[in-house]
Copies of this chain bind each other. A is one copy, B any other.
Amino acid sequence: MSLVVVGSMAFDAIETPFGKSDKIIGGAGTYIAWCASNFTQPIKQISVVGGDFPQEELDALTARGVNLEGVQIKKDEKTFFWSGRYHLDMNSRDTLDTQLNVLENFQPVVPESYQDCEFLMLGNLVPAVQRSVIEQLKNRPKLIVMDTMNFWMEVALDDLLKTLAMVDVLMVNDSEARQLSGEHSLVKAAAKIMAMGPKYLVIKKGEHGALLFHEKQIFFAPALPLEDVFDPTGAGDTFAGGFIGHLARTKDISFDNMKTAIIVGSAMASYCVEKFGTQRLREISDVDIESRLNEFVQLVNFDISVG
């Protein structure tokens, strides 16, 4: 039984108030794999790259326990490229350039060896591509988690809703939850979105933490207050990778364990933003992760004995 991850593998060029990156490795699938591989291996990756994607990057993922059988390499095409510039507040950004390249006609093929999929993480991608992976699996995974973004709500809402109806957990940020539901109150938004299919909803609020909704239950996870956010790129994908990685490792999909998974995701995201791209995720050890998880415990731990 295994974790299957679907998501882009890309080149990014990033500008922040702190500096400018070269063309570096990015993509939702990449961040998820680097992050989740701390918790569970193998990870069975589904993606597409061009002939320009560095072999050493593929080798590094393989060494990390990421199975690349489901990653198509289109030798004569170019890898997806995104370039963006963050504003001073690090919450908003302008897209400077998007070159879909290999993503334009991406048709994922699920290898036979991936059919043991128990946990499926659908990284942010064309909703129809996400759905195609679900449909190719002969047995429904124990848990399907879907990340998406406002862009798909604008250009592919019908497809998004169809895919949404097939998943267990949806992850969006607060403005996307409001956009998708038409409700300002996140409590009302969550109720409407869960009525669209997913039994669980994670609302990411960046520096304000994250909320997990399930039926009438709510869990509020903080974000670690940081001195500096160096590069927010991939923080949401890393959060997803920590979330699904913890669940796949523990094989426990109870609400209580999802709460822990959200803390794990938040801890990993707090590392991700400390350096450009996936750099920090490649450096950190189990000891670092434990230490940051303990910071989260300290951050929210209180004693109520009023009355």
Contact A306-B246, Cβ < 8 Å, known A208-B208, A225-B218: yes
User: Which among A74-82, A144-152, A257-265 touches the partner chain?
Assistant: A257-265
> Roughly how many angstroms separate A256 CA and B301 CA in the complex, as a whole number?
9
Q: Is the CB of A188 within 8 A of B307?
A: no
A187: chain B residues within 8 A (beta carbon): 225-227
A133 part of interface (Cβ distance < 8 Å):
no
Docked complex: A151-197 residues within 8 A CB-CB of B: 184-188
A299: chain B residues within 8 A (beta carbon): 218-220
Task: Tell me the interface secondary structure of chain A in the complex.
Answer: mixed
A57 part of interface (Cβ distance < 8 Å):
no
Docked complex: A251-307 residues within 8 A CB-CB of B: 256, 259-260, 262-264, 286, 289-290, 293-294, 296-307
A205: chain B residues within 8 A (beta carbon): 208
Q: Is the CB of B302 within 8 A of A290?
A: no
Contact with B along A216-242 (1 / 0, CB 8 A): 011111110111110000000000000
A259: chain B residues within 8 A (beta carbon): 301-303
A88 part of interface (Cβ distance < 8 Å):
yes
> Roughly how many angstroms separate A218 CA and B223 CA in the complex, as a whole number?
12
> Roughly how many angstroms separate A293 CA and B307 CA in the complex, as a whole number?
10
A89 part of interface (Cβ distance < 8 Å):
yes
Q: Is the CB of B302 within 8 A of A219?
A: yes
> Roughly how many angstroms separate A262 CA and B304 CA in the complex, as a whole number?
11
Which B-chain residue is minimally distant from A262 (CB atoms)?
Answer: B302
A209 part of interface (Cβ distance < 8 Å):
yes
Q: Is the CB of B303 within 8 A of A185?
A: no
Q: Is the CB of A304 within 8 A of B225?
A: no
A202 part of interface (Cβ distance < 8 Å):
no
A248 part of interface (Cβ distance < 8 Å):
no
> Roughly how many angstroms separate A226 CA and B211 CA in the complex, as a whole number?
12
Contact with B along A87-118 (1 / 0, CB 8 A): 01100000000000000000000000000000
Q: Is the CB of B264 within 8 A of A293?
A: no
A-B contact pairs, 11 of them (CB 8 A): A186-B225, A187-B226, A187-B227, A209-B222, A220-B225, A256-B302, A262-B302, A264-B306, A286-B307, A289-B307, A290-B307
